[in-house]
């Protein structure tokens, strides 16, 4: 008879061995980096041993691994499927696609109504909600949603791996900042210019990399991103160098400003009491509309010959070429379109922050945007939005958790550990769902049969 007790008993030996080996590896990993802390002193660096911390970490690995061995890997139950993330293929596929569409509509409706409803509730009942923080966080998430959708055109649709997307974001931001500082043009006049300039940079980057494939393309785009950042950092006359550009004007509401003492102020025109939240809400709606436009354009482009050529290019470049598709134009148009939206998002970022410096455009931003696209499930619009909300929202939430201090003691500063958790989350989500959070997508075109979602596995691999 195999009762659960006897199976566990029989497995205890190997489990203990496995846990001991893991603990030994953990000891080797951490013995110097965690077990000893380097302290600066007058005579140079001295070492301060931290044996308790090391023992705790190694112990955690030992018992964690033991528990995994005994209770987790042999479990005979599984998680119930997540209702929001359509996964199954086959019969339920088209309904899953519909479900995703419905979920998308619900999310859009929520995003449109959220600030107004929250604001009205707050003022009507005097709730003192931290609205400012909520709106700022939502604006940040929406900015990344837009960037994700923009990069998705390059990576998800055209299959060109771009590790330097932040360069276009920077070009957009700096174009707006410099034009507005020198000519005093408003946000709305600069927005198209910034987008077009970013698109031109996209084409400029596109030319040398046309012949490159796969990872060569990736490293050149990465290098391009770094070049742009270094130039911004050192070309002090134009970009202000490391000090950046400040006092960038925010977007106006059809000529009305949101300042308290502005000439044409929003609140005076509508006869409302002054509230700094109006400006924030206006920013929220701008980025929401811009993101939705990005989404809409992407969805429409996928039906145009250009979008189909992108997807064909992603699936097989040689077949693409043999069918007479001009791969040069196709690649350049993908780069330019992606860069265009990056540029728009960049000038929005500059207008929102009213201050930009090269610090904001490091490689890590490109990595985060790419992670959002891949974690969302490449090519899936909804997935990108969810991934942006999870990664950026969850990441920001870490900054304000006081509950963690209860666990780790008063000296624990969650802000220090944010990036660590962020990286761990990236690895964990990717291992948990390698195809991204939403791994099905509606094909852009099908022959005769109805529109059915296909598994992400069938979508090309993002080879360049």
Partner 1 sequence: MEYFLQQLINGIALGSIYGLIAIGYTLVYGIIGMINFAHGDVFMVGSFIALIAFIGLLSIGITFIPLALILVLLVAMLLTAVWGWTIERVAYRPLRASFRLAPLITAIGMSIVLQNFVQVSQGARVKTLQPVITGGYELMHAENFAVSLSNIQILIVVTTIALMTAFWLLIDRTPLGRSLRACEQDRMMAALCGVNVDRTISLTFVMGAALAAVAGLLYLLYYGVIDFFIGFIAGIKAFTAAVLGGIGSLPGAMLGGMIIGLIETFWSAYFTIEYKDVAAFSMLALVLIFFPSGLLGRPEVEKV
Residues forming the site for partner 1 (CB under 8 A): 25, 28-29, 31-34, 36-38, 40, 44-47, 155, 161, 208-209, 211-213, 215-216, 218-220, 222-224, 226-227, 230-231, 233-234, 318-319, 363-364, 367, 370-371, 374-375, 378, 416-417, 419-420, 422-427, 430-431, 434-435, 457, 461-463
Least Cβ distance, residue 219 to partner 1 (angstroms): 5
Which residue number, 274 or 417, has a Cβ lying nearer to partner 1?
417
Q: What are phi and psi of 215, to 5 degrees?
A: -75, -20
Smallest CA-to-CA distance from 377 within 299, 429, 308 is with 429
Which residue number, 132 or 213, has a Cβ lying nearer to partner 1?
213
Q: Cβ neighbours of residue 199 under 8 Å, at least 6 residues apart?
A: 336, 337, 339, 340, 343
Which residue number, 32 or 81, has a Cβ lying nearer to partner 1?
32
Which residue number, 114 or 421, has a Cβ lying nearer to partner 1?
421
Q: How far is CA 60 from CA 21, 27, 51, 431, in A?
A: 13, 11, 14, 21
Least Cβ distance, residue 95 to partner 1 (angstroms): 25
Determine contact, residues 142/291, Cβ cutoff 8 Å: yes
Least Cβ distance, residue 318 to partner 1 (angstroms): 6
Which residue number, 160 or 453, has a Cβ lying nearer to partner 1?
160
Least Cβ distance, residue 169 to partner 1 (angstroms): 17
Which residue number, 53 or 406, has a Cβ lying nearer to partner 1?
53
Least Cβ distance, residue 37 to partner 1 (angstroms): 6
Determine contact, residues 81/14, Cβ cutoff 8 Å: no
Tell me the β-bridge partners of 231.
none
Least Cβ distance, residue 62 to partner 1 (angstroms): 15
| CA 186 – CA 184 distance, rounded (Å) | 6
Q: Which two tokens stand for residue 278?
A: 């109006």
| CA 307 – CA 291 distance, rounded (Å) | 19
SS3 per residue for 190-208: HHHHHHHHHHHHHHHHHHH
Which residue number, 208 or 255, has a Cβ lying nearer to partner 1?
208
Q: Cβ neighbours of residue 293 under 8 Å, at least 6 residues apart?
A: none
Least Cβ distance, residue 198 to partner 1 (angstroms): 19
Which residue number, 179 or 205, has a Cβ lying nearer to partner 1?
205
Smallest CA-to-CA distance from 138 within 388, 418, 405 is with 388
Specify the residue for token string 């929202």: 393
Q: Cβ neighbours of residue 314 under 8 Å, at least 6 residues apart?
A: 157, 158, 159, 459, 460, 462, 463
Least Cβ distance, residue 353 to partner 1 (angstroms): 23
Smallest CA-to-CA distance from 337 within 304, 315, 382 is with 304
Which residue number, 86 or 159, has a Cβ lying nearer to partner 1?
159
Tell me the β-bridge partners of 45.
40
Determine contact, residues 118/267, Cβ cutoff 8 Å: no
Least Cβ distance, residue 94 to partner 1 (angstroms): 24
Query: Counting runs of H as helices and runs of E as strands, what totals does the chain give?
Result: 18, 6
Does residue 262 sit in helix, strand or coil?
coil
Least Cβ distance, residue 374 to partner 1 (angstroms): 5
Smallest CA-to-CA distance from 341 within 157, 210, 209, 82 is with 157
Least Cβ distance, residue 290 to partner 1 (angstroms): 26
Smallest CA-to-CA distance from 171 within 219, 236, 228, 251 is with 228
Which residue number, 375 or 453, has a Cβ lying nearer to partner 1?
375
Which residue number, 233 or 327, has a Cβ lying nearer to partner 1?
233
| Helical (H) or strand (E) element with 47 | strand 44-49
Which residue number, 28 or 117, has a Cβ lying nearer to partner 1?
28
Q: Which two tokens stand for residue 190?
A: 């600069």
| Helical (H) or strand (E) element with 267 | helix 266-270
Least Cβ distance, residue 24 to partner 1 (angstroms): 10
């Amino acid at each position: 008879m195999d009762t659960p007790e006897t199976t566990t008993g029989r497995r205890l030996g190997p489990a203990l061995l496995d846990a001991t080996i893991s603990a030994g590896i953990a000891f080797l990993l951490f013995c110097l980096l965690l077990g000893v802390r380097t302290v600066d002193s007058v005579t140079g660096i001295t070492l301060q041993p931290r044996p308790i911390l090391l023992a705790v970490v190694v112990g955690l690995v030992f018992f964690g691994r033991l528990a995994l061995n005994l209770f987790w890997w042999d479990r005979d139950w599984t998680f119930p499927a997540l209702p929001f993330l359509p996964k199954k293929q086959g019969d339920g596929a088209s309904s899953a696609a519909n479900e995703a569409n419905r979920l998308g509509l619900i999310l859009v409706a929520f995003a449109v109504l959220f600030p107004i409803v929250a604001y009205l509730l707050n003022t009507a009942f005097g709730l003192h909600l931290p609205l400012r923080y909520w709106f700022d966080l939502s604006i940040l998430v929406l900015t990344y949603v837009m960037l994700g959708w923009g990069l998705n055109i390059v990576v998800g649709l055209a299959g060109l791996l771009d590790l330097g997307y932040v360069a276009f974001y920077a070009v957009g931001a700096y174009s707006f900042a410099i034009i507005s500082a020198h000519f005093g043009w408003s946000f709305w006049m600069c927005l198209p210019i910034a987008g077009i300039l970013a698109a031109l940079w996209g084409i400029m980057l596109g030319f040398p990399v046309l012949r490159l494939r796969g990872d060569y393309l990736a490293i050149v785009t990465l290098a391009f991103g770094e070049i742009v950042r270094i130039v911004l950092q050192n070309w002090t006359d134009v970009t202000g160098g490391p000090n950046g550009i400040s006092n960038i004007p925010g977007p106006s509401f059809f000529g009305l400003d949101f300042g308290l003492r502005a000439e044409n102020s929003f609140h005076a025109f509508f006869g409302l009491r002054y509230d700094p939240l109006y400006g924030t809400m206006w920013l929220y709606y701008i980025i929401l509309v811009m993101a939705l436009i990005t989404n809409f354009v992407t969805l429409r482009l996928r039906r145009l010959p250009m979008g189909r050529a992108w997807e064909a290019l992603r699936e097989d470049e040689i077949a693409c070429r043999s069918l007479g598709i001009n791969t040069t134009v196709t690649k350049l148009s993908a780069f330019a379109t992606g860069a265009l939206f990056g540029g728009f998002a960049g000038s929005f970022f500059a207008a929102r922050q009213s201050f930009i410096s090269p610090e904001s455009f490091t490689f890590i931003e490109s990595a985060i945007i790419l992670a959002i696209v891949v974690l969302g499930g490449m090519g899936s619009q909804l997935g990108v939005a969810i991934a942006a909300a999870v990664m950026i929202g969850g990441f920001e939430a870490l900054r304000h958790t006081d509950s963690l201090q209860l666990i780790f003691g008063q000296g624990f500063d969650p802000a220090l550990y944010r990036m660590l958790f962020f990286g761990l989350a990236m690895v964990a989500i990717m291992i948990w769902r390698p195809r991204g959070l939403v791994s099905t997508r509606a094909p852009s075109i099908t022959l005769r049969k109805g529109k059915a979602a296909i598994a992400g596995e069938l979508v090309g691999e993002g080879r360049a």
